[in-house]
Amino acid sequence: MSGSSSTRDDLVRAGVELLDQLPLERILAGVTTAAVAEQAGVTTGSFFHHFRNSSEYTAAVVRSFDRERRFERDAVSDLTDAIQHRRLSEAISAVLVTTWRILADDPQRQADRRGQMHLFAHHRVALPPTDTDPTLSPTPPAPTETVGDVLRDIYRSQVDQITATWQRLLSLGEMRLAEPFDTRRLAVAVHALLLGLEIVHAVDPDAVDDNLFAEATATLAAALSRLDLDPARVMTAAELGQTEATTPQARSGARRRLDTRRRI
Amino acid sequence: MSGSSSTRDDLVRAGVELLDQLPLERILAGVTTAAVAEQAGVTTGSFFHHFRNSSEYTAAVVRSFDRERRFERDAVSDLTDAIQHRRLSEAISAVLVTTWRILADDPQRQADRRGQMHLFAHHRVALPPTDTDPTLSPTPPAPTETVGDVLRDIYRSQVDQITATWQRLLSLGEMRLAEPFDTRRLAVAVHALLLGLEIVHAVDPDAVDDNLFAEATATLAAALSRLDLDPARVMTAAELGQTEATTPQARSGARRRLDTRRRI
């Protein structure tokens, strides 16, 4: 058996390399068009009415991951409700804790993240060009779009929304961010923190408690700005549970708003 | 064409659902054992000497993602060098900027992250049990391990290392963290921030500049603790470029140390 364990390592390493190089179509190779049609409740004929081949279909699936742009809008509307009868710092804490709870508990959001990370694993793969009518006169070829370009647009849109939220918060409090940060760099950091915490929470729920996102974000913002936030006074989930903005009724209301927007 | 666009949406949604439910083996279905053997430079016979079937091989590939536990060790040794002739806050900034540059530029690290996110997309999938000798007397069945369990162990190990680093920093400065944070919760937040920033940086390099990780981490730590860090005085990459710890020679030295440890 001498040398066997090294060969085994070589084989496993080869698998990791090939996994990384796998063409995107191969990911769906195990899924037949019949299975897709059945899942969608249509005929196989209908499938080929809409997609010329599996390559075109795969590209459409990848480009469909352009969702989940709602949570910051919800956070802002929750904030408007909350700010009526609280200090700004309490309102921000309440919104952040509530936002995290909704995101962490939402099966649709979790499925979106799994799908996005599937795309991330293949972010360097080029997508076939979007369908154009071949009977039209030839147009100059568009620059090649990759899977990562789709993800990049999703992330930029999310950062835009976080930026808008924080700008609104700052204007409410007549505050500005301290050098060297600006609102957009704060939003990039908060977005990355949220993305990372969602991933860690999915595989290790015990690692991320309900308050961590709120505390880290509020602390980050307070340190970078002149907000009237005292990090030690970020409200805990238990404290928030005693207030009306996060009663079960209010939480299910926030979730209902999220669901409604998802259906639109 | 009435109703067609809705059918198309149904088809795409079905694909997203199926993508998420895809058995892990199917990911490697496009990769033949012959291709694996060729990539590893061994014969197909050798493949089946080591793995009974593709299911066992796939599980071995998943479990192999137990790498990349080195960067924090490197950061600590860099810190020890740097702290000889700097203030603590400058040393921390230097280590964080250098760490980020190494991670962001390292193709092996990027491939690891893509592989890990591939696993994350399938984190709920159960792995077949590890190989046991069938001639041995039957043992009680082990609890089912999932792909997510492999990722969770990787993440916990990384958080352990970050915790140890920050505890060392705090003891160097005779400092302690402010309530309600403790060192481990700070480490969870820093780990999640790093994970999120690496993902965003991979698909949108312009969004994350060299200083963002260092500034956000140092700000987070300073706000949560009684460190002598002034967030506005976190050194920029340009400033660090003028010091000896991040000359091209020193950076290639840090990279060389990283490479050496990877080979061990």
Mention every residue, 6+ apart, whose C-beta is less than 8 A from residue A102. Answer: A71, A74, A251, A254, A255, A258
Assess B143–A contact: CB distance below 8 Å, yes or no: no
Residues A203, A77 share a domain: yes
Q: Look up residue B140 and give its DSSP letter.
A: P
Distance from CA of B171 to the nearest CA of A (A): 22
pLDDT score recorded for residue B192: 95
* pLDDT interval class at A199 (50, 70, 90): very high
Nearest to A208 among B180, B188, B196 (CB): B188
Count of structural domains, chain A = 2
Mutate which: A199, A209, A213, vs B, most B CBs within 10 A: A199
- pLDDT at residue A259, rounded to an integer: 39
pLDDT confidence of residue B11 = 73
- Say whether both A175 and A139 belong to one domain: yes
Question: Average pLDDT for residues A27-52, to the nearest whole number?
Answer: 78
**End of a domain among A15, A47, A64?**
A64
Q: Do A215 and B31 touch (CB under 8 A)?
A: no
Look at A219 and B223 and tell me if their CB atoms are within 8 Å. Answer: yes
B236 touches chain A (CB under 8 A): yes
Helix boundaries (H) for A28-132:
33-40, 44-50, 54-63, 71-82, 88-105, 107-121
> Is the same domain home to A74 and A52?
no
Of A58, A120, A232, the CB nearest to B117: A120
Picking from A64, A120, A158, the residue whose alpha carbon sits closest to that of residue B207 is A158
Instruction: Tell whether the model's pLDDT for residue B201 goes beyond 90.
Output: yes
| Closest-CA distance of chain A to residue B145, Å | 12
**B207-253: pLDDT as tens digits:** 998 888 888 887 777 666 654 444 444 555 555 555 434 434 444 44
Beta strands in chain A (DSSP E): none
Looking at residue A203, its pLDDT comes to: 93
Q: How far apart are CA A67 and CA B144, in angstroms?
A: 33
Average pLDDT value for residue range B172-191: 75
Q: How far A114 CA lies from chain B's nearest CA (Å)?
A: 4
Q: Where are the beta strands (DSSP E) in B117-198?
A: none
Same domain, B14 and B120: no
Is-contact B42 B57, C-beta < 8 A?
no
Distance CA A250, CA A47 (A): 42
* DSSP conformation letters of A92-103: HHHHHHHHHHHH
- Asked which of B64, B83, B116 is the last residue of a domain, the reply is B64
With an 8 Å Cβ cutoff, is B34 touching chain A? no
Is the model's pLDDT at A54 over the cut of 50?
A: yes
Task: Please say which residue of A36, A64, A92 terminates a domain.
Answer: A64
Q: Please indicate whether, in this complex, the C-beta atoms of A15 and B196 are within 8 angstroms of each other.
A: no
Pick from A184-198, B49-63, B101-115, B190-204: least confident:
B49-63
**Is the pLDDT assigned to residue B182 strictly greater than 90?**
no
CB of A34 within 8 Å of a chain B CB? The answer is no
What confidence tens digit (pLDDT) does each residue in B16-57 have? Answer: 666 666 665 565 566 677 877 888 888 888 888 888 877 777
Determine what percent of chain A is predicted with pLDDT higher than 90. Answer: 9
Q: How far apart are the first and last CA of chain B?
A: 62
Q: Cα A154 from chain centroid?
A: 8
Looking up residue B130, the CATH number of its domain turns out to be: 1.10.357
Chain A nearest-CA distance from B140, in A, is 26
According to the model, what pLDDT value does residue A252 have? 42
Of B14, B20, B212, the CB nearest to A188: B212
The answer to whether residue A104 neighbours chain B at the CB level (below 8 Å) is: no
**Average pLDDT of chain A, as a whole number:** 70
pLDDT of residue A99: 81
Whether omega before B134 lies within 30 degrees of 0, making that bond cis, reads no
Q: Is there a single domain that holds both residue A74 and residue A49?
A: no
Is there a single domain that holds both residue B230 and residue B113? yes
Pick among B42, B219, B225 to test the A interface (most A CBs inside 10 A): B219
State whether B15 and A28 contact (CB < 8 Å). yes
Mean pLDDT of the B92-109 span: 80
Average pLDDT of span A123-148: 66
* Nearest-angstrom CA–CA distance, A15 and B105: 23
Specify the higher pLDDT residue, A257 or A131. A131
pLDDT digits (tens, 9 = 90+) for A55-111: 777 777 777 665 444 444 555 555 565 555 556 666 777 778 888 888 888 887 888
Same domain as B72, residue B60: no
The nearest alpha carbon in chain A to B56 belongs to A12
Interfacial B residues in 41-60 facing A (CB < 8 Å): 41-42, 46-47, 49-51, 57-58, 60
Using an 8 Å Cβ cutoff, are A33 and A221 in contact?
no
What's the gap in Å between the CA of A39 and the closest CA on chain B?
Answer: 5
Residues A103 and A223 in one domain: yes
Q: Domain limits at A25?
A: 1-64
Tokens of B181: 């944070």
A1 touches chain B (CB under 8 A): no
Q: Do A118 and A178 reside in the same domain of the chain? A: yes
| Other CB atoms within 10 Å distance of the CB of residue B133 | 6
Output phi, psi for A164, to 5 deg: -65, -40
In this prediction, residue B228 carries a pLDDT of 46
More confidently predicted of B54 and B5: B54
pLDDT at B264 over 80: no
Sequence-distant (≥ 6) Cβ neighbours of residue A13 within 8 angstroms: B40, B64
Nearest CB to B61 within list A15, A36, A47:
A15
- Report the amino acid identity of residue B118: H
Res. A6 pLDDT band, cuts 50 70 90 = low
Residue A233 in this model has a pLDDT that exceeds 50: no
A51 vs B contacts (CB less than 8 Å): 11
Instruction: Kindly state whether residues B225 and B113 are assigned to the same domain.
Output: yes
Q: What is the DSSP letter of B3?
A: T
Q: Are residues A57 and A72 in the same domain?
A: no
Residue B174 region, left (φ>0) first, then alpha (ψ -120 to 50), else beta? left
If asked whether residues A186 and A258 sit together in one domain, one would say yes
Examine the pLDDT at B202 and tell me if it is beyond 90: yes
| Cα–Cα–Cα angle for B79, B83, B87, rounded to 5 degrees | 125
The confidence score (pLDDT) of residue A157 equals 87
- What pLDDT is attached to residue A217? 83
Indicate if the pLDDT at residue B59 is higher than 60: yes
